[in-house]
A and B are shown apart, each in its own frame.
Chain A
Amino acid sequence: MIGPAVDPAVAPAGEAPIAHPDAAAFWAGIADGAFRLQRCLRCDTVRFPLAPVCWNCLSPDYVLDDVDGSGTVAASIVIERVTSGSVWAAHVPYRTGLVTLDAGFRVPGRILCRCGQAVTQGTPVRMCRVTATGGQDVFAFAHQCIARS
Chain B
Amino acid sequence: MYQREACIAGVGTSDSFGFSLGKSPLALQAEALRAALADCGLPKSAIDGVATSHGAPRGVDYEEFVLAAGLSIRWASQMWSHGRWAAATVTEAALAVTAGLADYVAVADTTTTARGYGRHLARLGGGNAAEGLRDVGGGHGEWDVHGLDTPGAATALVAQAYMDTYGATSDHLADVALAFREHANLNPMAIMRDKKMTRQSYFGEPVIAGPFRRADYCLSNEGSVCLIVTTRERARDLAKEPAVIAGMAGIRASRDDYVLFARPGLGVGIQRQRPLEAGGEAAVYAMAGVAPGDLSGLYVYDSFGSNLWMVLERFGFCGEGEAPHYIRDAGIGLGSALPVNTNGGLMSEAHLSGYGHLVEMTRQLRGAAGQRQIDGAVAVQWATPRGDSLILTKER
Contact = CB atoms under 8 A, between A and B. Distances in A.
Q: Do A and B come from one complex?
A: yes
Interface stretch (B16-24, B139-147, B311-319, B342-350): B139-147
Given A77-B209, A84-B149, A120 B164 contact: yes
Interface string B251-269: 0000100000000000111
Nearest to B138: A49
A108 B152 CA distance: 15
Contacts, number: 117
Interface residues of A, number: 43
Contact of A49 (B137, B145, B153): B137
A85 to B, nearest CB: 9
A17 B157 contact: no
Interface stretch (B32-40, B98-106, B127-135, B289-297): B127-135
Given A75-B157, A75-B164, A83 B208 contact: yes
Contacts of B209: 77-81
B157 A77 contact: yes
Interface residues on B, range: 35 or more
B128 A74 contact: no
B137 A96 contact: no
A82 B149 contact: yes
Interface in B176-195: none
Contacts of A15: 144-145, 147, 149
Interface string A105-128: 111111000000000110000000
B70 interface: no
B367 interface: no
Interface in B354-387: none
A138 B138 CA distance: 16
B156 interface: yes
A25 B206 CA distance: 40
Given A79-B209, A80-B206, A81-B206, A98 B133 contact: no
Interface of B: 127-128, 132-133, 135-138, 143-150, 152-153, 156-158, 160-161, 164-165, 206-211, 255, 267-270
Given A49-B138, A77-B211, 5 more contacts: A17-B144, A75-B161, A83-B208, A108-B148, A140-B146
23 contacts: A15-B147, A15-B149, A20-B132, A22-B133, A23-B136, A26-B136, A49-B133, A49-B136, A49-B137, A49-B138, A50-B136, A75-B158, A78-B210, A79-B147, A81-B207, A86-B144, A88-B149, A94-B147, A96-B147, A106-B267, A106-B269, A110-B147, A138-B146
